[in-house]
Structure formats: structure tokens, C-alpha cells
Amino acid sequence: MSDASDERLPASPPATRGKPVLPPDTPLDQLIQDPSPEIVGAVASDPRLTEDLALALLKRRDLPREALELLHKHKSLSKLRKVQLAIVMHPRTPRHVSVPTIRHLYTFELMQVALQPSVAADVKHAAEDVLISKLGTISSGERFTLAKQSSGRVAAALLLDKEDRIAQAALANPQMTEVSIVKALKAGTGTERLAPAVCRYQKWAYRNDVKIALLGNKHTPFARVVQFAAELPLNALREVLRNARLAPNVKAHLRTVLEKRTK
């Protein structure tokens, strides 16, 4: 005698126009964890699928790529923000699905994508690109939150923000890197607030590469120039004199320090 569940649910759902479909009386909530890719695909494309069921389905890390594509194409669910975000953040979502969807996400959804460890690196990078492109249009409060909590690449783009509190929050971001700070200090414009802020920030100001970048920045307070010149090795001072566009008083001071220390 066959099992009652075998009579209720077909092992392989019938197909309509090449797409798998389920009988109209099939309980979708019982099939969310089904091991069959065909049945899962049928659930993903079923018009009766609700937002809650779709989100439950998207919690499966083993979800087939085909099912993710079908969810992306689902007419009544594909525009829902929670479903869009879950699709983008799923580790098995094809790039041709996740990357275009990123452009429709909100600011903090993009931040979430960029910080999620399970998201592929190129998808994170795409989310960061969209976030950085939005920085000129989003509010001060949103930029401040991004400076504090976003990925290092987004925080680096906020180092030159017009508001001091935002630049300082970016400096304190746990994912900020020395390389990003050096690059920002070498920017042609917009460093009048950043250079003094970095000088005051002990975590960064003691690092030699940052000191070198600060010596080459015209907005670094002269008292700090004197301090850094005394602390840096001679080869670093020579490098600054060779490569940086220094203010005349800074150049003169560095030459004096070199002369005294090489005697």
C-alpha cells in the first residue's frame, strides 16, 4: 500500500509551457524544505507563494540557482523589498540576478549587503559602488551612520565629507585602513578638515605612512610638522622632500632637520 503523502504530493510536479507547476491544492508551506529541485522550483514560481513563504524559502542555503531565478521573476513578489534583499544576499544567487537588483535597494539595505560575510566579493563591491554614488544625495544623518557602520571602502569615501563629525566618524570606523587615509590625505582638494582631524587621532597619527602623507599635506598644523619630522627616519624625510609638493616653510624645516641629523 502506498503512503498517503505519496498520493497527496507528486514526486515530480507536472510542467506547463516548460515550467514546473503544482496542483492548486498543494500546501506550499510543507514543501519549503523539500529536497527535490523540481518541487522547490515549482514552489518558487507558484502564484500562491506569499512573502513570508518566500522569505522562509530564501533561508535555505542550498536553494538551487534555478529557484532563485524563478523567485526573481515572480510577478507578485519580485518587487517586495524584503524579498529583493534576501535574493541579493543569498550566496547562490546568480550575478545576473543580484547585481541589477542592487540598484533598487535603499541606503541601509546596501550597507547590509556590503557587510554580509556570505555575500560574494563582487556583489559587495557593486553594492558599495551604488552607495558611494548616492553619497551626494543622501541626508547628513544617513552619511553619519554610514561613516560609523559601513564597510571600509564606503567609509573611506566619507573621509572628505564637508561635515567634521562625518569625517571623524569615518576615521573611527572599525574597517577603516591606513591605506585609505593616506590616499585621502593626498587628494588635491577637500583635506582642510581631514588633515587636522587625523593629527588628533592617535590610532592613525603615530603610523609612519600617515605621518609622511601629513607632511605632504598643506593643511597639517606646523606644530605637527615639527613633531613628525623629529619622529620619522631620515630616509622617510628624504622621500617627502623628493615627492611632496611642500609649503616653503615645511620644506625649509625638513631640510634643517636633515642637516642636523646627518652631521
Question: What is the average pLDDT value for the chain, to the nearest integer?
Answer: 90
- 4 or 135: which leads in pLDDT: 135
Residue 5 confidence (pLDDT) above 50: no
Please tell me the predicted confidence (pLDDT) of residue 20: 63
Please tell me the predicted confidence (pLDDT) of residue 9: 45
Percentage of the chain lying above the pLDDT 90 cut: 80
pLDDT tens digits for range 204-247? 999 999 999 999 999 999 999 999 999 999 999 999 998 778 88
Residue 133 confidence (pLDDT) above 80: yes
The pLDDT-based confidence of 19 (bands split at 50, 70, 90) is low
Could you write out the DSSP letters of every residue in the chain?
---HHHHHS-SS--EETTEE---TT--GGGTTT-S-HHHHHHHHH-TT--HHHHHHHHT-TT--HHHHHHHHH-TTTTT-HHHHHHHHH-TT--HHHHHHHHTTS-HHHHHHHHH-TTS-HHHHHHHHHHHHHHTTTS-HHHHHHHHHHS-HHHHHHTTT-SSHHHHHHHHH-TT--HHHHHHHHTSSSS-TTHHHHHHH-HHHHTSHHHHHHHHT-TTS-HHHHHHHHHHS-HHHHHHHHHHS---HHHHHHHHHHHHHHH-
Domain ranges of the chain: 1-78, 95-176, 180-263
